[in-house]
Structure 1
Amino acid sequence: MTEQVVMVAQASPEELTERLRDAITRLNRRLRQERPLGDLTVTQLSALTSLRIGGALTPRELSEAERVQPPTMTKIVAKLEDRGLISRAPHPTDGRQVLLSLSPEGIAVLDRYQRVRDEWLAHRLAELVPDERDIVERAAQLLERLARE
């Protein structure tokens, strides 16, 4: 079942802001739901993703990246470490600190989760007609440009 894009009158910037925010939020939520069965929480997956993006981080840096309090991150890190998904190493310049990084198993888990989400999205995109896929491609380029800081 393919929905056709319907052209409507141009929305005001405020209306477009609301529609775009809501659409991105729903798509992101839907992508998060597409994951292999397992017992990793969304928060744990997010922490693993932050380590993939940021490289080795101190626990404080990871809690800041995830916008959670350090005690909360301590619990998350402990569970990920118990599962062998992250590893600790001494900080090269501060002996009081440790650096957290993804283990090979953590990388494999993230790759598996990403593959499942990508397959779901690719299937949904394949349901679109070529003109709709062209619109999505142009929109992706614009969203990438908007996301640059």
Structure 2
Amino acid sequence: MERSVAERTSAEQLAITLREAITRLGRRVRQARPIGDLTFSQLSALTSLQLAGALTPRELADVERVQPPTMTKIIGKLEDRGLIARTPHPSDRRQVILAATEEGRAVYAQFEKARNEWLARQLAELTPEERDTLERAAAILHQVARA
């Protein structure tokens, strides 16, 4: 059954409003991080390695959507700090695999904790009804993301 023009317009307007809100919230959550000297790019790369488990430098550059020379610099800074380590690739001796070290995982955990604490403080200021609405919305957003 085809949707009416009004239903399509309503869904399109909701898409715009929702995308803008999610973008703003995502940006604000990313800004909530422990004070330190890691850049957003370095934190992002460390996060990608933490979530993926291990990646080649090229895969990491692709995930982060940066050029390989840029990723080489980021990897160097993270290695210098002992946050990531290289291991030989199991099937291609020309390649290496990057993974977060124990210290890198600890930095990532601090980063996640700071973001979660910031968001929890914001949510605590809402009414119970607003938090219930967001809980239902989160379930729906997960459903939309799987589609």
Normalised to the residue count of structure 1, the TM-score between the two structures is 0.90
Indicate the structure whose relative CO is greater, using CA pairs within 8 Å and at least 6 residues apart: 1
Q: Deviations over 1:71-119 (max 9, x none)?
A: 1111110111011100000001110000000001110001001111111
Pick one of 61, 64, 70 that aligns with 2:62.
Answer: 64
- Give the structure 2 partner of residue 80 of structure 1: 78
1:94 is the counterpart of 2:92: yes
1:118 is the counterpart of 2:116: yes
Q: Which amino acid aligns with 2:64?
A: E
Q: Which runs of 5+ in 1 are unaligned?
A: 1-9
How far off its partner does 1:33 sit? 1.3
Q: Which amino acid aligns with 1:31?
A: V
Runs of 4+ in 1 over 2 A off after TM superposition: none
Pick one of 13, 16, 39 that aligns with 1:15.
Answer: 13
How far off its partner does 1:126 sit? 1.1
How far off its partner does 1:35 sit? 0.8
Q: Which amino acid aligns with 2:59?
A: E
C-alpha distance in 1 between matches for 2:38 and 2:29: 15
Which stretch has the larger CA shift, 94-103 or 33-42?
A: 33-42
C-alpha distance in 1 between matches for 2:57 and 2:137: 36
Q: Which amino acid aligns with 2:105?
A: I
Normalised to the residue count of structure 2, the TM-score between the two structures is 0.91
Q: What secondary structure sits across from 1:115 in the alignment?
A: helix
Aligned-residue identity in percent: 63
- Give the structure 2 partner of residue 140 of structure 1: 138
C-alpha distance in 2 between matches for 1:86 and 1:148: 31
- Give the structure 2 partner of residue 106 of structure 1: 104
The structure whose residues are more often helix, as a share, is 2
Pick one of 31, 34, 39 that aligns with 1:33.
Answer: 31
- Give the structure 2 partner of residue 45 of structure 1: 43
Q: Which amino acid aligns with 1:39?
A: D
C-alpha distance in 2 between matches for 1:120 and 1:135: 19
Which stretch has the larger CA shift, 138-147 or 11-20?
A: 11-20
C-alpha distance in 2 between matches for 1:50 and 1:32: 14
